[in-house]
């Protein structure tokens, strides 16, 4: 139930951050204004006793986020890929959240596997290791199939993980509603829609059958991509809470020392991981949306291996074209075209001045192109673009949240491999190739052909469909506004207690 009981949950969030010493570190990392910093400390300090002190053997930030639960761990995973935003030390501390969390027991894992697959683990595997990786939602064991001797990875969901996520998401909804009530200017961010999107992604990640299907589709799309590998799903040994895949041997993409010792070219790897992501997003409209270092390896022959397909992103063809034109416009510094694309897509209200918007976009792009290559950042671009679109009334596009978040994560991975990488130069050939294939006379003819095929199939029904739509439109009742002031007053009173905590939490999630 999304109600006032979540106040305690949000207070406990602030109390845990304060008690573990993570509050100051996170405020410093985000360069929080003095007012926000002071308000957060004022609200959290008296309630420190409600916070969880966590595992004292770990640094403050991962200790706090681990103690708070899986949804908070997801936030920490994102920050771990952005040393340019939070500093190298904090990013290194948070990297343990990717696949080095405390595991649950092997006996619990075996019982879960036996229950899901309908037979004892010993009948399936002749070797079953302790956990080799433990993340926020599941842990992985290395095993050997009894029938074939093949090495496999067995992923098992954490016990009780569904209930834990629902509890966190419940509190996030409460925080989002408080933000919408207490900060009207933030409503254009559609924080409730953002949380709903986050909920959909997470709930999908909690069914490993869906992850197996995602891995299979992703493998079909990327089969011809040079320098890229995916493990193979073992369908007979996969279910809702268990997934079995072929074992992927390789070095972690986040271990620069090991990559250097093996003779891999880190600069080339950084370029490849960024171009692969852009190719998957633009070419296929289906991309790995959790591409942090914990989900990527480098094989002996230099191929990048991706795994953990719990979060996959999908964008339709029209949105891909809009996104590509915006990126291409910034790359070519054609700010007028970028502005026109925003208007054509309906991202900016039609009553705004396109020329003024183009000038504002120039103020976003030019400072970035004037920077040294090592400082050109997609994160900076999104930050500046946020300020401009707010001024011109653009609402948050929920369908682009995952794409934008993943772009920031992949940039962080590429920059960790090569701090001097020029993001724009690397992205340019992929975006240009997509533009060439999808925007132009040949693409227009292809679109007309598809439209003609659809019309020919539904042609006999079109008059009836149009008539029915017109009848519905003319018969639609005039909406009546209901009185909402008592409800607003109630939520306002409750929200004042923990408003700052709620605002900060939702801003974090929007950034994700």
Q: Which residues are designated catalytic?
A: 290
Please list, in sequence order, all residues whose beta carbon lies within 8 angstroms of the beta carbon of residue 278, skipping any fewer than 6 positions away.
427, 430, 431
Give 175-207 as a DSSP string.
HHHHHHHH-GGGGGG-HHHHHHHHHHHHHHHT-
Please say whether the beta carbons of 84 and 91 come within 8 A: no
Strands 304-306 and 228-229: parallel
- Cα–Cα distance measured from residue 69 to residue 73, given in angstroms and rounded to the nearest whole number: 6
Q: What is the H or E stretch that residue 62 is in? A: helix 60-68
Nearest to 205 by CA among 74, 82, 83, 397: 74
CA atoms within 13 A on the CB side of 15: 15
User: What Rg value do the Cα atoms of the chain yield, rounded?
Assistant: 24
Instruction: For the sheet with 228-229, list strands across it.
Output: 228-229, 304-306, 296-298, 251-252
Task: At 47, list the tokens.
Answer: 């309630």
- Cα–Cα distance measured from residue 376 to residue 152, given in angstroms and rounded to the nearest whole number: 40
Please say whether the beta carbons of 390 and 364 come within 8 A: no
Task: At 366, list the tokens.
Answer: 């030019």
Q: What is the H or E stretch that residue 468 is in? A: helix 462-475
Q: In Å, what is the CA distance from 83 to each residue of 72, 87, 206, 251, 372?
A: 18, 4, 29, 21, 17
Nearest to 495 by CA among 145, 176, 25: 176
- Cα–Cα distance measured from residue 346 to residue 342, given in angstroms and rounded to the nearest whole number: 6
Neighbours of 210 (CB within 10 A): 17
- Cα–Cα distance measured from residue 374 to residue 256, given in angstroms and rounded to the nearest whole number: 18
């Amino acid at each position: 139930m999304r109600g006032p009981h979540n106040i305690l949950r949000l207070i406990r969030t602030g109390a845990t951050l304060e008690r573990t010493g993570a509050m100051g570190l996170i405020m410093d990392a985000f360069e929080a204004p003095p007012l926000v910093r002071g308000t957060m400390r004022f609200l959290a300090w008296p309630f420190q006793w409600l916070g969880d002190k966590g595992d004292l053997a770990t640094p403050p930030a991962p200790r706090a986020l681990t103690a708070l639960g899986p949804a908070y761990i997801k936030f920490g995973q994102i920050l771990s890929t952005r040393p340019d935003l939070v500093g190298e030390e904090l990013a290194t501390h948070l990297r343990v959240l990717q696949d080095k969390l405390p595991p649950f027991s092997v006996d619990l894992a075996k019982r879960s596997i036996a229950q899901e697959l309908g037979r004892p683990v010993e009948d399936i595997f002749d070797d079953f290791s302790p956990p080799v990786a433990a993340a926020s939602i599941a842990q992985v064991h290395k095993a050997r199939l009894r029938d074939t001797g093949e090495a496999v990875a067995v992923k098992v969901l954490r016990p009780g993980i569904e209930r834990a996520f629902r509890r966190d998401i419940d509190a996030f909804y409460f925080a989002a509603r408080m933000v919408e009530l207490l900060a009207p200017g933030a409503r254009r961010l559609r924080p409730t829609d953002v949380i709903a999107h986050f909920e959909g992604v997470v709930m999908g990640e909690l069914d490993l059958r869906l992850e197996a299907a995602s891995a299979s589709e992703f493998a079909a799309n990327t089969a011809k991509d040079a320098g890229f590998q995916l493990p193979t799903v073992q369908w007979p040994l996969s279910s809702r809470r268990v997934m079995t895949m072929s074992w992927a041997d390789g070095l972690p993409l986040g271990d620069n020392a090991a990559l250097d010792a093996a003779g891999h070219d880190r600069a080339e790897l950084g370029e490849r991981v960024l171009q692969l992501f852009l190719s998957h997003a633009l070419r296929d409209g289906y991309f790995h949306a959790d591409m942090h270092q914990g989900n990527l390896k480098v094989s002996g022959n230099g191929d990048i291996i991706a795994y953990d397909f719990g979060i996959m992103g999908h964008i339709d063809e029209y949105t891909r074209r809009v996104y590509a034109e915006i990126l291409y416009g910034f790359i070519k510094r054609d700010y007028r075209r970028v502005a026109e694309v925003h208007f054509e897509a309906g991202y900016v209200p039609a009553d705004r001045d396109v020329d003024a918007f183009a000038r504002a976009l120039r103020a976003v792009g030019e400072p970035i192109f004037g920077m040294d290559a090592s400082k050109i950042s997609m994160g900076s671009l999104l930050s500046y673009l946020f300020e401009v679109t707010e001024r011109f009334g653009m609402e948050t596009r929920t369908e682009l949240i995952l794409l934008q978040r993943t772009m920031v994560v992949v940039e962080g991975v590429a920059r960790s491999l090569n701090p001097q990488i020029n993001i724009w130069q690397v992205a340019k050939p992929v975006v240009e190739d997509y533009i060439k294939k999808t925007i132009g006379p040949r693409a227009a003819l292809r679109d007309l052909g598809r439209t003609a095929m659809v019309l020919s199939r539904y042609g006999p029904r079109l008059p009836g469909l149009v008539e029915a739509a017109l009848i519905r439109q003319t018969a639609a009742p005039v909406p009546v506004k209901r009185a909402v002031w008592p409800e607003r007053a109630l939520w306002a009173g409750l929200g004042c207690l923990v408003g700052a905590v709620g605002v900060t939490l939702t801003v974090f999630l929007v950034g994700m």
